[in-house]
Amino acid sequence: MKQPALSRRQCLQTWGGLWAAALAPTAWSQDPTGGDTLGSMQWPVIRRKFMAMAPFALSEDVIVKGPEFAEDAMNVPIWIDARALQLSMGPIDRIVVVADRNPIQHVLDFEPLGSWPVLAFRIRMEQGSPVRALVKMKDGRWFVGQTWVNAAGGGCTVPGATRADGSWSRTLNQVQARVFRNVLDGGTRLRLRVMHPMDTGLVNGIPAFHIEQLELRDAQDTAVWRLHLHEPVSENPLITLELGDQPQGPWRLTGRDNNGNRIDERLKA
């Protein structure tokens, strides 16, 4: 049976209804940040990738600090301190550091093991971005600390100084270290630099070449802390850690880069 033709009014009503349905709030048109307090559209992906969508809580006990504006986007200082969280919530399994808007978001993983959950380091940033510490407790709970860092940009896509002048091959994996008492917080502080170009792989003609792992072991051959580094860590990584109240030196620093080059250095107390 032939359907009757729609009147002009009926056509307008039909199309109006279709447009209203198209513009109505739906799952895809809701907040694309997933409710992120820093307004990052990358946060839902980061949460799924690094925390498997596990429940988490933002915590003021996870301190993440960076400069208000990083003029040198290749050397942006970041400081993380989760001691208060450990005191209130129990032992920490690992701390995952990410920069939302970097082309390579994963910065490093830090396992405090026998040291304090405190870490200072420098990273490359391609643009202004949230920088977050995703803290997983031994019991599986997640807590998140975060800050926003404005950056001049381009830090991930230009070669470092030692790559540009060719000097990196003469100093590769050399270690400089200093151990001293932390007069402000007590305990023993270790500051070390490992010479390495830390190439991101985002510069034309220069493949990714970076330190993958560092581990510190004490005189009893017990692991004190462990770091898994990724490409955004700055050239010649400068890292500061807190070893706690009763360090047992001398220590042995071991590690490797993604080309299989080894790091093996004895550190004196």
Residue 178 near residue 229, CB atoms below 8 Å: no
Neighbours of 263 (CB within 10 A): 20
pLDDT for the residue numbered 153: 81
- pTM score over 0.85: yes
Residue 244 near residue 200, CB atoms below 8 Å: no
| Beta partners for residue 227, in sequence order | 110, 214
pLDDT for the residue numbered 146: 98
For residue 39, give the DSSP letter: -
Residue 175 near residue 154, CB atoms below 8 Å: no
The angle formed by the CA atoms of residues 93, 96 and 100, to the nearest 5 degrees, is 160
Kindly give the confidence (pLDDT) of every residue in the chain, 269 residues in length, as a single tens digit, with 9 standing for 90 and above: 444 454 544 443 444 443 344 334 444 348 899 899 999 999 999 999 999 999 999 999 999 999 999 999 999 999 999 999 999 999 999 999 999 999 999 999 999 999 999 999 999 999 999 999 999 999 999 999 999 999 988 899 999 999 988 999 999 999 999 998 876 677 899 999 999 999 999 999 999 999 999 999 999 999 999 999 999 999 999 999 999 887 778 999 999 999 999 999 999 87
| CATH code given to domain 41-267 | 2.60.40.2470
For residue 203, give the DSSP letter: B
C-alpha distances in angstroms, 238 versus 119, 145, 190, 196, 213? 11, 22, 11, 10, 14
**Start-end of H helices in the chain:** 8-23, 43-51, 83-89, 161-165, 168-171
Amino acid at site 196: H
pLDDT for the residue numbered 187: 84
